[in-house]
Structures are given as C-alpha cells and as structure tokens.
Chain A
Amino acid sequence: MSAEALERLVDRFSSEVVRTHAEHGDETVVLRGERLVEICSFLRTDLVCAFEMLSDLTAVDYLNVKSPRFEVVYHLYSLSRNHRLRLKVELEDGEPAVPSVMSVWKSANWMEREAWDLYGIRFEGHPDLRRILTYDEFQGHPLRKDYDMEHRQPRIPPREGQRHL
C-alpha cells in the first residue's frame, strides 16, 4: 500500500535502513536509531509520505529469541493518503535508549512513557519521562521477559494529600 513512501524513505536514508520487508501489503522498515527524529520529520512532512499520525508506539522484548534484545515499533498512518508504515528500531540489552519522537508527533508522549515504564527503554529528549501505568516506587520493568513472575512489590505509603484521618 505504502510502497511508494517506503521507496522514497530508502532512497533518501539508505545508510540508516537495516532491512525492509512487506507482508500482505504491510510495509515494514528496520532502522538505525541515531537519525530517527530526522527520518520521522521527513516521513511526516514529505507530501508523498505524509504520515500525520503516530497510531501506535510500543516495544518488544526478544530475550532468548533473537539479538538485539529489544525492538521499538512505530505504527504510522497517513490520514490524507490512507496508507500505513511500520518502523522498527532494534536495541541492544543494557541501557536501551532511542531518541524521542515527541517533537514530530505529540501523541508519542504517553506512549513513550508507557514503553519506559513497562520495558525500561529510555527515550532521549522526552520532556517528562516518568512512569505512567505503575507508580514511582515500583521496582523493575514488569513486561521484560526476565521480570520474575513471583516477584511481589513492596507496600507503598499514601501520597501527599491522600491521607485525611
């Protein structure tokens, strides 16, 4: 569907593209992370690509399945041209980090916080990278495959202003 957009992307940023594939008309491109913001703003502003909307941003943990361990996945949608594109950035274990795309799509804000909260992937340049689903005192990142299923979180004290006795 978005073969044309994919072609333009590969032409322009050939050094950043690791590989591409398409399945049932769903184009996917695996990218290196360094120039991600530049690539994303091209995808948004280019008239052929015109991906105005970031419909999803998530992460995958491939522990003991493949290397590199983490993948951050971006699902883009063009409202004006009605086509979609999937971007992936592969990240090594350790302290995985990727540039934040909040400057391109504001909707990345909470989705990046979610990926940070549950997978511990840092989004560099994010203005407010706090946990979003769990709470500040939470230990670890629960959707990582090496998070112990039987691990129990310690009890937390009441928040400021929560206690009216």
Chain B
Amino acid sequence: MSSEKLLGQEAAVTTVKAAEGFFRRLLNKNETVQNAVNWGRRWSFFQYPFVTACCGMEYMATAGPRYDYARFGAELPRFSPRQADLLMVVGTISHKQAPVLRTVYEQMAEPKWVISFGVCASSGGFYRNYATVQGIDTIIPVDVYIPGCPPRPEAVLDAIMMLQEKVKEERRPLLPIVD
C-alpha cells in the first residue's frame, strides 16, 4: 500500500465533507426552504397531551367538533412522546410527578414545543402548597402559557395560533452541521 494512495483518499473525503458542509449551510440559510419547513411544522402539530387534572375537559372540548383544533392542523394527539412535537401540560403537576414530566419532555425528538395549559401548570394556581410545582417552567422550557381555571377553548385556540406565529419566525438549522 503506497502512502500516496492513502493521502489521495483522505483528500477526497475532506473534499466531499467540505462540499456537504457548504450545501448544508446554504440550505440552512435559504429563506425559502426555511419558510417552507416552518409552514409544514406549524400546520401539523402532533401534540402529546400530558393531562393530569380538570383542564383535560377543556382540552377535549377544544379537540371536539365545536372548536375543532384540527382546523389548525393539530388534529392528531400522539400518546407516545416519541411521535409528538408539541407537549401540552394540562393540569396540576405535583413534585412527585415532576421527574416523570421531565422524562417525557426529554423523550420527545427535536424540534419540540411546550404549551402550559391553565394556571396550575403555569404557576401552581391556587395550589400554593407543599405538594405542587409552582409552575412547570421550573422543570422544562415553556413556549406559550394559557391563563384560566380552566381556560376557555378560545384561549387554547389562541395559544395554538400564537405558537404558530412563533414557529413561523423560527430560524433553527434544518440540517446539523458536521465539520
């Protein structure tokens, strides 16, 4: 085996990697591609409902035919965090449950968003006591908070629209850059 041949192979690999990096960067910077991907993401939220309390009724009302969040493309709840990209924390979270919620969040694949549904999830609500987490943002990052005890379905739809606006403006890398 000649050393020249080896060097030639290495050079080829480096060239290919450089070319790949160039195209990835180009794609990530491309506004049209970004906008297209964001359009796809914001009109097809697959939500994971982490329902722990009475807010679940309002969640069901929002999912039902009268309010029907399928109009916003969020029509398929996935009951596995692996298949979901929108975590809806619906209800009171106790300290005992906090590690479970954290695990569910970590199990979701990127990109992922979180909606805090109702005052209990957002701040602990009137459960100002030893058992309740005073806001899930002490455990996981939250994108949109919905006030209300429980919130009206209109408020939930508003939150979904706000999240859509947020996703529309997002500029996250579409492909990971490997150098």
Contacts and interface: CB of A to CB of B under 8 A. Distances in A.
A153 B95 CA distance: 8
A163 B106 CA distance: 10
A157 interface: yes
Contacts, number: 42
B99 A153 contact: no
Contact of B103 (A135, A156, A165): A165
A153 B107 contact: no
A147 B95 contact: no
Contacts of B107: 164-165
B139 interface: yes
B178 to A, nearest CB: 22
A156 B98 contact: yes
Interface of A: 134-135, 138, 142, 147, 149, 151-153, 155-159, 162-165
B83 interface: no
A147 B130 contact: yes
B102 A158 contact: yes
Interface residues of B, number: 16
A11 to B, nearest CB: 45
A135 B129 contact: no
A155 B95 contact: yes
Interface in B116-138: 128-131, 134, 138
A134 B94 CA distance: 10
A156 B99 contact: yes
Contact of A157 (B99, B131, B138): B99
Contact of B106 (A142, A149, A152, A165): A165
Given A155-B98, A156-B98, A158-B99, 18 more contacts: A135-B95, A142-B129, A149-B129, A152-B130, A153-B130, A155-B95, A155-B99, A155-B138, A156-B96, A158-B103, A159-B99, A162-B100, A162-B103, A163-B99, A164-B103, A164-B107, A165-B106, A165-B107
A162 B97 CA distance: 11
A69 B99 CA distance: 36
Contacts of B128: 149
Nearest to A148: B130
Nearest to A142: B130
